[in-house]
């Protein structure tokens, strides 16, 4: 009888552990919901460049802040691939808020950058 109880308890503990580890991983990788319609085709780097020039290049040019030079396509793409570009401008948790010391970008600009990324970061 004791043995059966012990077995049952072990099973209960193990399944509880599994359950909680699942819950943890869920909160660690939140699904970023987006309602942006990115069906517009032909978004290239040229479409987002003016936004970066106006709001970012001030700090992110040659030898730029955080080692990022946004006058260079490769650096923009790199930041986009790492998720930093969107994370910083959307003010997501875990990212410094960009543009630093300025108001958040207009939603239309954020959407444009998001769609440029989703549509494959074309040069």
69 Cβ neighbours under 8 A, 6+ residues apart = 60, 61, 62, 63, 75
Cβ proximity to ligand HEC: between 79 and 117 the closer is 79
State in angstroms the smallest separation of the CB of 39 from ligand HEC.
Answer: 24
d(CA 94, CA 82): 13
Q: Among the candidate windows 3-11, 22-30, 100-108, 114-122, which touches ligand HEC by CB under 6 A?
A: 100-108
Q: Among the candidate windows 5-13, 32-40, 42-50, 54-62, which touches ligand HEC by CB under 6 A?
A: 54-62
Among 88, 90, 112, 116, binds ligand HEC (CB under 6 A): 88
Q: CA-CA distances (angstroms) from residue 7 to 4, 13, 19, 20?
A: 5, 10, 18, 20
Among 35, 101, 108, 123, binds ligand HEC (CB under 6 A): 101
Question: Quick check: 79 binds ligand HEC (CB under 6 A)?
Answer: yes
Among 55, 75, 115, 117, binds ligand HEC (CB under 6 A): 55
Count CB-CB contacts under 10 A for residue 102: 12
d(CA 116, CA 80): 10
Count CB-CB contacts under 10 A for residue 86: 20
Q: Which residues bind ligand HEC (CB under 6 A)?
A: 55-56, 58-60, 65-66, 68, 79, 84-85, 88-89, 95-96, 98-102, 105
């Amino acid at each position: 009888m004791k043995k059966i109880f012990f077995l049952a308890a072990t099973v209960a503990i193990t399944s509880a552990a599994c359950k909680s580890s699942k819950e943890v991983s869920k909160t660690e990788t939140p699904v970023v919901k987006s309602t942006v319609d990115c069906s517009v085709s032909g978004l290239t780097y040229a479409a987002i460049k003016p936004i970066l020039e106006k709001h970012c290049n001030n700090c992110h040019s040659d030898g730029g802040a955080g080692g990022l030079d946004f006058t260079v396509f490769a650096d923009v793409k790199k930041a986009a691939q790492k998720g930093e570009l969107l994370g910083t401008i959307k003010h997501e948790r875990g990212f410094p808020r960009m543009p630093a010391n300025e108001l958040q970008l207009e939603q239309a600009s954020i959407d444009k950058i998001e769609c440029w990324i989703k549509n494959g970061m074309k040069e």
